[in-house]
Amino acid sequence: MANVQLFQSTPGPLPAAANSVNCEGAPAYVLAPAHRLAQYAATGCLNATYYASAEAQLADVLELCEGVESGFIAQTALYCRERGYMKDMPALLLAVLAARGAPELAAVFSRVINNGKMLRNFVQILRSGVVGRKSLGTRPKKLVQQWLNNATEQALLSAAIGTSPSLADVLKMVHVKPSAPWREALFAWTLGKPYDAAALPPVLQAYLAYQRDRSLPVPAVPFQMLASMQLDTKAWARVALQGGWQMVRMNLNTFARHGVFELPGAAKAIAAKLRDKQAIAKAQAFPYQLMAAYKAASGVPEVVREALQDAMETALANVPRIEGKVVVCPDVSGSMQSPVTGHRAGGTTAVRCIDVAALVAAAMLRKNAGAMVLPFEQDVTACRLNPRDSVLTNADKLAAIGGGGTNCSAPLAWLNARNEKADLVLYVSDNESWIDARRHGATQTMREWAVFKRRNPQAKLVCIDIAPYGTTQAQENGDVLNVGGFSDEVFRIVAAFAAGQLQAEHWVGEIGAVNVNDGGGDGLENQLRRSEAG
């Protein structure tokens, strides 16, 4: 008689067999090339992660680009810059388009390169030669020239902060012809050449005057231009009040060290800036950045810490309320201890993948009070959460679990063993399951999902991936969505999928619907053609 444990029969259709392996060598489903590129672009920061080096990520992205049309590469660059708020990856994809001579480059350039840091990233990537060329080339050079002649004085001063390359390096490379006297003077000042001081833009004149005379008002220049000066407490307070939202968030401890919060009214004014809804939206803040600021703030008044919590609630405004019962499964295994943006010498974030997973789970619980949260590693781990607690409080509880191997099927097995019902099961993981590895057939996650679906035929499964590895434990189909990233755009996608509003291509379809020519791309293309013809 056949071994019934080995040859156990189950009702319903057989889940598709795994067609790849993950970084642990365990069975997995490889995503389609366009989907893999999107996942890398939305989660990869070109820094070393738990399983992949920065070099390996770069090689994978470049290889994927070879098999994907330029139009989708342009759409992915726009999506990840405008909705995912990524930096290096969109610049890399733009450089790929430049190396190809793709017509989409002109259409998307100004939307991806929307500040000086992005401009310098793009130029550095191109001149490094990784995309197959070291020179900018005629068309990219014209686009950079146009950016330099359209940027505001504030944007140009911000672009002048940093090296590799510096703004001076970029100016030397593209030989831009200034479109106005003030640009000519500013470019000459940047290059260390003689300039007409009277023609400099007012803010730069104010900065140079302040260098000579500290009794003058603190100029409204980028924070980094003032940081090296010996500023007094009142000057530091002015820097905080004039600075952008992100700069203030990142420098709260600096302000505390210089006594800013001891000045009458300073703490309340800075708190008001931090909780300003319009400023938060303009800053395109990741919720996890607020978590990092809250955790790092030391010697900061309670009113400022409370403002960070208020800002968190604002940043999570897009977390959906889902009809029906929701189960959220944050991965708290050992690999999730990796920094969410990877390891980078001198700049590694303190926020880990597990922190982001915990934050998503806590936010979903806050908006869906009846949600069940099942943190998992080798098995489901108990964790008592109060939906009325703050998001940060519950996130801290979840993130404190940590450790152990990864078993992505554990939450579904837990639900099946108890005959639990749900309308949406939401995973937040790096998908590197190995504890439940099988030699043949479908992944254990898909086997457990098949069992769950027989009891919950209308249920949907969403896997939010926050690491750039290119495989999943749950094969995409009409009821399974794989989406990558850690911006609030992910919440919108989850809500649309739960409501049955996504097209058949799911997340890839969302990216494919991005309008490349929205925002004057055609006009820019025509301008370049006329310029080249002349």
Which tens digits make up the pLDDT trace of 94-130? 999 999 999 999 999 999 999 999 999 999 999 999 9
How far is 509 from 502, CA to CA, in rounded Å? 8
**Average pLDDT of the chain to the nearest whole number:** 90
pLDDT band at 526 (very low <50, low <70, confident <90, very high): very low
> What are the phi and psi torsion angles at 263 (to 5°)?
-75, 140
Which tens digits make up the pLDDT trace of 390-420? 888 899 899 999 789 999 999 999 999 999 9
Distances in whole angstroms, Cα of residue 408 to Cα of each of 97, 399, 435 = 37, 17, 8
Buried b / exposed e across 103-117, counting CB within 10 Å, b at 16+? bbbbbbbbbbbbebe
The predicted pLDDT at position 534 comes to: 35
Amino acid at 363: A
Residue with tokens 């944050």: 330
- What pTM did the predictor assign? 0.90
**Of 478, 437, 406, the residue nearest 13 (C-alpha):** 478
Read off the DSSP letter of residue 440: S
Examine the pLDDT at 478 and tell me if it is beyond 60. yes
Provide, rounded to the nearest whole percent, the portion of the chain with pLDDT above 90: 73
Q: What is the mean pLDDT of residues 252-257?
A: 94
- Cβ pair 203, 211 in contact under 8 A: no
The predicted pLDDT at position 524 comes to: 45
Examine the pLDDT at 520 and tell me if it is beyond 80. no
Distances in whole angstroms, Cα of residue 241 to Cα of each of 134, 248, 270, 273, 286 = 42, 8, 7, 8, 22
Domains of the chain in start order, with CATH, are: 20-26+318-512 (3.40.50.410)
Other CB atoms within 10 Å distance of the CB of residue 91 = 24
**Of 305, 210, 314, 319, the residue nearest 267 (C-alpha):** 305
User: In this structure, what token pair is assigned to residue 289?
Assistant: 């950045």
**Of 205, 226, 210, the residue nearest 158 (C-alpha):** 226
Q: What is the mean pLDDT of residues 492-499?
A: 93
The torsion region of residue 148 among left (phi > 0), alpha (psi -120 to 50) and beta comes to: alpha
Which tens digits make up the pLDDT trace of 46-64? 888 888 899 999 999 999 9
**Of 207, 271, 218, the residue nearest 242 (C-alpha):** 218
The predicted pLDDT at position 343 comes to: 83
**Torsion angle, alpha carbons of 342, 348, 354, 357, to 10:** -80
**Of 429, 412, 422, 442, the residue nearest 483 (C-alpha):** 429
**Of 201, 198, 203, the residue nearest 218 (C-alpha):** 203
Other CB atoms within 10 Å distance of the CB of residue 8 = 8
**Of 314, 315, 318, 295, the residue nearest 305 (C-alpha):** 295
